Structures are given as structure tokens and as C-alpha cells.
């Protein structure tokens, strides 16, 4: 499954980040996912539950922020949001657009960490 490998790499990179905070637990991971990244949020959530088992991310929440496709239309001289993925045409003037500005993202936006109080 495509999503499982994505989630595994997210878990890896969050775990790496956590190395600087011994004993910390992750509360929430926020992702930015473009519509063209070809991932299904439900699958991400499902895989997240599996991939985080036994890691410092176990029990944390995955928040997925889906991003619309944004292209730049030369005719209109501005960035326009594309609703469908079937045809990339400017919703303002109808011209085909190909200058992608947003839509392929697949990145961690932020990580919320629960810092554990040190008890000696």
C-alpha cells in the first residue's frame, strides 16, 4: 500500500526529530497533502495507526490538511485554484494552465510534542 510507505517515512522523520527530546511523546502530527499527491486520507489514517504502534508516536493524532491544486494562469496573471483533477483549465478564463504552484505537497507541517517532566 502506497500510504503505508508514506506514513512509515513520516514516522521515521518524526522519530529523528524526537531524538532531541528524550522521553517526549508526540500528541499530534500535522500533514500538508496536495490533491495531486494521490493519497487517500482514510488510508493515511488507517496506516498511521499501524505504523505508529510501539513508537513514540503511538496514540497521537494525525491531522491531514488537503491542499487544492493551484496553477498560475498567464492570461489572468494570477494563481487560480483548480477544483477538479480532470482538466487543468483556468476557472476564470477557461484557458489550459500547466504552471503548477501547489498540489504535489506531502510534508509535515508541524509536530506537537508532550514534554515529559523530568523526575529524578
Q: Which of 90, 102, 103, 111 binds Zn ion (CB under 5 A)?
A: 90
Of 35-43, 56-64, 85-93, 108-116, the window that binds Zn ion (rule: CB under 5 A) is 85-93
If you write DSSP's letter for every residue of 1-39 in order, what string do you get? -HHHHHHHHHHHHHHHHHTTSTT-EEEEEEEEEEGGG--
Backbone torsions φ then ψ of 80, nearest 5 degrees? -125, 145
Q: Which of 10, 73, 82, 111 binds Zn ion (CB under 5 A)?
A: 73
Of 9-17, 34-42, 45-53, 72-80, the window that binds Zn ion (rule: CB under 5 A) is 72-80
Say if residues 1 and 81 touch (Cβ distance below 8 Å). Answer: no
Binding residues for Zn ion, rule: CB under 5 A, are: 73, 75-76, 90, 92-93
Amino acid at each position: 500500500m502506497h500510504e503505508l510507505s508514506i506514513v512509515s517515512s513520516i514516522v521515521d522523520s518524526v522519530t529523528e526529530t524526537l531524538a532531541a527530546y528524550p522521553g517526549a511523546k508526540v500528541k499530534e502530527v500535522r500533514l500538508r497533502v496536495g490533491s495531486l499527491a494521490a493519497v487517500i486520507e482514510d488510508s493515511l489514517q488507517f496506516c498511521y495507526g499501524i505504523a505508529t504502534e510501539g513508537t513514540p508516536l503511538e496514540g497521537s493524532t494525525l491531522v491531514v490538511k488537503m491542499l487544492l491544486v493551484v496553477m498560475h494562469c498567464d492570461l489572468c496573471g494570477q494563481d487560480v485554484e483548480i477544483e477538479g483533477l480532470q482538466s487543468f483549465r483556468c476557472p476564470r478564463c477557461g484557458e489550459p494552465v500547466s504552471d503548477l504552484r501547489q498540489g504535489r505537497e506531502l510534508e509535515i507541517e508541524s509536530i506537537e510534542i508532550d514534554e515529559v517532566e523530568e523526575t529524578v
